[in-house]
Amino acid sequence: MNQATSHVLPTNPAERRLHNLFGWGLLTPSLILLTLFAFFPMLATLWASFFSRGTARRPSVFNGLDNYRDLVADPAFWQVVGNNLLYAGVTVPVSIALALGMALWANARIGGRGLVRTAFFTPTMLPMIAAANLWLFFYTPGLGLLDHITALFGIGPTNWLGQPGTALWSVMAVTIWKESGFFMIFYLAALQAIPPDLREAARIEGAGRWAYTRRVVLPLLMPTTLFVTINALINSVRLIDHLFILTKGGPDNASKLILYWIWEMAFAYLDQSGAAVMTVMVLAALGLIAALQFLFFDRRIHYR
């Protein structure tokens, strides 16, 4: 929050009144919508999480923390949370590492650089649903492209999406394919902001290509990495569209992620309180990420 560039507090009372009037007046439309679709829903979710699941015959009653207790006692909860942690733990670092590699290459002196960049970035512009539609057929047992490839190595058909051991990994592959190019863009910009003299200086000092990358480039990319990591973490909760096409969370919850589970509880099983409890937990986790970022990381990175 950079107060220096906005002007000093008006001293004259009439002007101060004007500022209050205009400030609040201009914000009112946004505040109304933010209240309707962010603040109120957050509080309503918290409130709903303390009530039992209502049915036609049994209205919902206040039952304190029972819902939380039930949820924590549900093995599916731990599985879904575990899945999401694994999903984040794999897709976030892998897509960031790939994005960095892509950016370094897309910034190197190579022929057809524009085409290479386009190839990396194009999946980002697809709807996740379209990406899932395409990948669905790569995973088709026996007939899909993947099995054609594995057959070359003498490996028989694999039911990639249909068995617990591979379903989540198959979903992750699509996510990584879709996300890496997006993060590449931020690295590419950061790389191009590095002054060329640094490379010259490193060369004169006798630093090789690897030393230059590790000692000069990577440290300079740290703010970008933080920014991208936060984005990737939020996306790891949010990106579930492909589940609707690829696995629907199955088999046996093996590929179910938290937001998909919330959707399923609320709209397929009509368990509003279960969905509310899970949402509260997600909000707590996101709040934690936000707090960590505000407290510990340099907030100038993007809230300059």
Kindly identify the residues of this chain, within the stretch 98-157, that bind other proteins according to CB under 8 A: 101-102, 105-113, 115-123, 125-138, 140, 143, 145, 148
Which residues lie below 8 Å from residue 258, measured CB to CB, with a gap of 6+? 80, 81, 84, 237, 278, 282
Cβ distance 198 to 216 under 8 Å?
yes
CA distance 232 to 89: 10
- In whole angstroms, how close is the CB of 183 to other proteins at the nearest point? 10
Residues 171-190 that bind other proteins (CB under 8 A): 177, 180-182, 185-186, 188-190
41 versus 66: smaller Cβ distance to other proteins: 41
Angle, alpha carbons 126-268-37 (nearest 5°): 65
- The span of 7-15, 55-63, 74-82, 249-257 binding other proteins (CB under 8 A) equals 7-15
Cβ distance 170 to 161 under 8 Å?
yes
Cα separation values, 50 from 77, 156, 259, Å: 18, 51, 20
Residues 53-92 that bind other proteins (CB under 8 A): none
- The span of 59-67, 152-160, 164-172, 222-230 binding other proteins (CB under 8 A) equals 222-230
Helix (H) or strand (E) holding 277, with range, is helix 272-296
Binding to other proteins by CB under 8 A, coded x per residue (else -) over 15-34, reads -x--xx-xxxxxx-xxxxxx
Binding to other proteins by CB under 8 A, coded x per residue (else -) over 200-219, reads x--x-----x----------
Identity at 249, one-letter amino acid code:
G
- In whole angstroms, how close is the CB of 76 to other proteins at the nearest point? 18
Residues 262-291 that bind other proteins (CB under 8 A): 262-263, 266-267, 272, 275-276, 279, 282-283, 286-287, 289-290
Residues 237-266 that bind other proteins (CB under 8 A): 237-238, 240-241, 244-245, 259, 262-263, 266
- In whole angstroms, how close is the CB of 87 to other proteins at the nearest point? 16
- In whole angstroms, how close is the CB of 31 to other proteins at the nearest point? 7
Cα separation values, 61 from 50, 168, 220, 273, 292, Å: 8, 37, 55, 11, 36
- In whole angstroms, how close is the CB of 119 to other proteins at the nearest point? 4
Interface with other proteins (CB under 8 A), residue from 67, 84, 91, 224:
224
- In whole angstroms, how close is the CB of 198 to other proteins at the nearest point? 11
Helix (H) or strand (E) holding 164, with range, is helix 164-192
CA distance 197 to 203: 10
- The span of 41-49, 60-68, 82-90, 163-171 binding other proteins (CB under 8 A) equals 41-49
Cβ distance 120 to 95 under 8 Å?
no
86 versus 199: smaller Cβ distance to other proteins: 199
The footprint of other proteins on this chain (CB under 8 A) covers a number of residues equal to 118
Burial class, 165, CB count within 10 angstroms (exposed 0-12 / middle 13-18 / buried 19+): exposed
